[in-house]
Structure 1
Amino acid sequence: MTKYAFLQATHSFVILWTNQQGGYFHMQRPSFASREEYARHFIDIEYWQPYVEAICERHNLAPSHHIQRGLPGSNPVFIVDERYVVKIYTRLFGGAESSARELKLYSLFARFPQLPFPILLAFGTLFPVGQEWHWPYIVISVIPGTNIGEFYEQVQYADKLALARYLGPLLYKLHNLPLDGLQSFKPAWDGFVSFLEQQRHSCVENHKCWKALPASLIGQIDGYLLPVRTLVNQRSRPLLLHCDLNQDHVMGFLKDGHWQTTGIIDFGDARIGERLYELIALHVGLFHGDKTLLRAFLESYGIDKMVEKQFVHQAMSYTLLFEFDVLGPILQATPSLRSATSLAKLAELLWDIE
């Protein structure tokens, strides 16, 4: 087999790379005139099936008998024979950075098989790197099951508590993985501080576009947000964060009435940063604002005694600065939160665990 080179065997998986001297696809390059056109096609199995099948054949993962759509996100994601996940990166939505970031992470995870994260099986580009977009892709292992969001209302509360306590030590391990040699994840504060400053600059406009908060609360944002220098403790060590651990990214099975977690997925938004930022998607998007679950997580993580006096203000500032609209769904589902007449009151209702 001349088109591929074996890089290393990792447990029962083999990591491959494409021989860049050849092996590119002789098929039409995906092309979209607008983001709207891309949105109509990016989860279209019929459109992407030839590319997915060609990727599987290239890396000796064929035959691909059953291809199903993965969870909608920003990039085309497909599950092949319930064994492999093929993710193809568009140049839209930061595809170049995201592909490089995930490639490094899933390679790192392969060194720690005890962690329930996907690991890298293969990677490459559909077309040669040049002036046109080359459509990079990765193939990773499947975390079996269904995301907990599909069953959240059916999951018993005791199982939700167990999940919160399970995620504490798991995220502690993620946050403290060694980052030696990972250029995309240098353990320095510069990138995270710059990211927060950009979010601070666009914060009010973002919330005006999202329309989750009433105008009266949006008008309070500038006066409420803590300065970035207060949010980031640069005397501490920056950590590896998932950054989007919501109900869509926790996988498992609902079996005999009980939830069994199998792992977590989708590290496309991972970055180096302050651990409190990790809580936003977790508390709002997974725990649905349940403070008992948040407290259980913090205790199992070991952070409960380290919560500072400004925790509520810090957490709410990070919520407002979050990259995506996390407040819309929870405000819609929780009338008591909608009754808040100030950001300080909303912060108390959402984050005060005392």
Structure 2
Amino acid sequence: MGVIAARHGLDTASLEPFAGGSDVVWACGDRVVKLTDPRCSWQLAAEADWLERLAGRTSLATPRLIDMGELEGWPYLVLSLLPGRALGEFWPALPYDERRRLAADIGNFIAELHGVDPSDAPRTWPDFWTDCRERAPVRDLGDPRLPDWARPLAEEVGSFLEAEGPLDAQRHVCLHTELLDQHLFARERAGRVELCGVLDFADGRVGPAEYDFPPLADFVFRGEGDLLRTCLEAYGRPGVELNHGLARRLLAWGLSHRFGRLQRMLAAVAPSRPRTLDELATLLFGLD
């Protein structure tokens, strides 16, 4: 990492690794170096494209692309360092009213993102979605983390998805696809926590708007369905649409999501033990 920092005139003495994530990411003063496996080079190229495409287009800051290159075949990006910290560092200690306010702010941001014109963005959805739907019915069957009582739910995934239909016959928009508590950034200002940025667009793509919402239920709201309702209302979904039918559809999106995992959804609604996926939709999304 020191070689990359020196190559771009960065202060090598300030290099500090970030914990977690699937990439090698180091801070270097007010810059970030993100290095990834050559087999995933397409993701860094996609992220660079999305960061340039979205710069200044939403109320939340996104990292600015400074430069990009390779080190012994390993691709990397040099980005600006976002202000603030991951929302997940604040969330557990926030009172309910603050979480609800932030849920509305997240909904407003998603509306801004989905409002960006996608007409000149790469279109990869058809093949991507076909692969997701083929994997979804069998992905959780062999998950060793899934408790025995939940095995029937994994076996139900295929019939549940079939009952919900194709899902993606709707408006296609600019998607982040991984709106997690570690990708949304916040900071304290005037005594309260405010959203200030969003990062990691490596899996950004153009696709149906509803694909962006299930990760919020898993990683941010974690079974607080009223917060998802607040988010969706701020996004612009009419209250009449916020019903059990939408909850089932969002669960179908979540089960089909590239990074969706039944085990994580069940953890979000613990200690409840849903007997069917229909019950899980109620517990996780709370739109009845």
State whether TM-score is above 0.5.
Answer: yes
Secondary structure, counterpart of 2:228 in structure 1: helix
Secondary structure, counterpart of 2:32 in structure 1: strand
Q: Does 1:206 align with 2:128?
A: no
Written as runs of structure 1 = structure 2, the 5 A alignment for 1:87-236 is 87-92=34-39, 95-110=40-55, 112=57, 114-127=59-72, 134-179=73-118, 181-182=120-121, 185-186=122-123, 191-210=124-143, 211-212=145-146, 214-226=150-162, 230-233=166-169, 236=170
Conserved? CA contact 2:88–2:181, under 8 Å: yes
Q: Does 1:56 align with 2:2?
A: no
- Once the two structures are superposed, residues 300-336 of structure 1 have per-residue CA deviations (whole angstroms, 9 ceiling, x without a partner) of 1102357376312211111111222444345235335
Greater relative CO, 1 or 2 (CA 8 Å, sep 6+): 2
Match of 1:70 in 2: 18
**Residue identity opposite 1:91 in structure 2:** P
Q: Does 1:322 align with 2:271?
A: no
Match of 1:272 in 2: 206
**Residue identity opposite 1:208 in structure 2:** L
Query: For the residues of structure 2 that align with 1:173 and 1:285, how far apart are their CA atoms?
Result: 21
Structure 1: gaps spanning 5 or more residues: 1-51, 128-133
Query: For the residues of structure 1 that align with 2:27 and 2:76, how far apart are their CA atoms?
Result: 13
Conserved? CA contact 1:193–1:228, under 8 Å: no
**Residue identity opposite 2:44 in structure 1:** S
Query: For the residues of structure 1 that align with 2:13 and 2:119, how far apart are their CA atoms?
Result: 39
Conserved? CA contact 1:200–1:321, under 8 Å: yes
- Scaled by the length of structure 2, the TM-score of the pair is 0.88
Query: For the residues of structure 2 that align with 1:157 and 1:283, how far apart are their CA atoms?
Result: 16
**Residue identity opposite 2:79 in structure 1:** I
Secondary structure, counterpart of 2:166 in structure 1: helix
- Scaled by the length of structure 1, the TM-score of the pair is 0.73
Query: For the residues of structure 2 that align with 1:158 and 1:96, how far apart are their CA atoms?
Result: 41
Query: For the residues of structure 1 that align with 2:240 and 2:160, how far apart are their CA atoms?
Result: 23
Query: For the residues of structure 2 that align with 1:272 and 1:227, how far apart are their CA atoms?
Result: 25
1:227/1:331 Cα in 2 relative to 1: closer, same or farther (>3 Å)? closer
May I ask how many residue pairs the two structures share in their alignment?
A: 284
Match of 2:31 in 1: 84
Secondary structure, counterpart of 1:318 in structure 2: helix
Alignment root-mean-square deviation, CA: 2.4
Conserved? CA contact 1:146–1:251, under 8 Å: yes
How much does 1:287 deviate? 0.9
Q: Find the structure with the greater CA-based Rg.
A: 1
Conserved? CA contact 1:226–1:314, under 8 Å: no
Conserved? CA contact 2:58–2:113, under 8 Å: no
Query: For the residues of structure 2 that align with 1:274 and 1:68, how far apart are their CA atoms?
Result: 37
How much does 1:229 deviate? 5.6
**209-218 vs 287-296, which moves further:** 209-218
How much does 1:147 deviate? 1.0
**315-324 vs 328-337, which moves further:** 328-337
Conserved? CA contact 2:85–2:186, under 8 Å: yes
Query: For the residues of structure 2 that align with 1:333 and 1:344, how far apart are their CA atoms?
Result: 15
Judging by fraction of residues, say which structure has more helix.
2
